[in-house]
């Protein structure tokens, strides 16, 4: 094997890991030098963890992937922060810490913006949640896209294994009679407007978490 200075090896491994965290496997298994390079904070911070977004259960406690995931989290990986924040919000109920983790990924992960909005509402912070939803609505060009994002977030929630123990029963809050006015004459769970979309998804969070 050709010897490479540690700094150069780390840079090579970082580039490879940015295309998918599984690409780091051969380096981890190759021996001390490869393992040290793969576990370098710079590599872990930039590792592509998209698979953890769409198969969120990989980050659950007890998962064989969690130790590696937490290394990435501790290195400041944005995706790891989002997934861990979502996991804590789902499993543990309302907390400022979980929302801060989700919020830290908003600029990079569109699902984070939506998740932050609905968990804010479910956690009793209606005004903040609606501000988040309004900001996301500016970036999303059509309603169907917002629904697709919402459904993807709920799929992530479901994959994490929500406890269904009423974590948000005491905090879910929606003013004006507890439902948006448009629900009474136009909108339903499957045909929504931007005014009430946060209600339905936050309500679903409250039901399953």
* 3-state class (DSSP) for residue 18: coil
How many CB atoms are located within 10 Å of the residue 182 CB?
A: 14
DSSP structural state of residue 179: S
In this structure, is the dihedral angle defined by the CA atoms of residues 107, 108, 111 and 116, taken in order, positive or negative? negative
Which residues are 188's β-sheet partners?
A: 191
- Pick out the chain residues at pLDDT < 50: none
Angstrom distance (rounded) from CA 100 to CA 39? 25
How much is the pLDDT for 72? 99
What's the pTM?
0.90
Q: What percentage of the chain has pLDDT greater than the value 90?
A: 69
Count of residues for the chain? 209
Summarize pLDDT for 1-44 with one digit per residue, the tens.
Answer: 556 778 888 999 999 999 999 999 999 999 999 999 999 999 99
Q: Is residue 42 within 8 Å of residue 14, measured between CB atoms?
A: yes
Q: Domain-by-domain residue ranges, the chain? A: 94-208
* 3-state class (DSSP) for residue 188: strand
DSSP structural state of residue 142: S
């Amino acid at each position: 094997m050709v010897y490479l200075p540690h700094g150069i090896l780390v840079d090579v491994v970082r580039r490879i890991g940015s295309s998918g965290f599984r690409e780091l496997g051969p380096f981890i298994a190759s021996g001390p030098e490869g393992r040290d390079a793969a576990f370098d904070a710079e590599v872990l911070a930039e590792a592509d963890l998209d698979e953890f977004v769409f198969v969120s259960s990989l980050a659950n406690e007890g998962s064989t992937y969690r130790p590696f995931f937490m290394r990435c989290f501790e290195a400041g990986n944005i995706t790891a922060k989002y997934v861990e924040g979502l996991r804590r919000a789902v499993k543990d109920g309302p907390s400022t810490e979980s929302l801060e983790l989700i919020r830290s990924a908003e600029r990079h992960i569109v699902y984070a913006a939506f998740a932050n909005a609905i968990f804010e509402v479910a956690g009793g912070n209606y005004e903040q949640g609606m501000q988040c939803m309004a900001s996301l609505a500016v970036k999303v060009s059509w309603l169907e896209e917002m629904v697709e994002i919402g459904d993807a977030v709920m799929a992530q929630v479901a994959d994490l294994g929500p406890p269904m123990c009423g974590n948000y029963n005491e905090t879910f809050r929606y003013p004006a009679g507890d439902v948006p006015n448009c629900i009474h004459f136009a909108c339903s769970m499957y045909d929504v407007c931007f005014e009430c979309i946060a209600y339905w998804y936050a309500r679903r969070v409250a039901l399953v978490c």
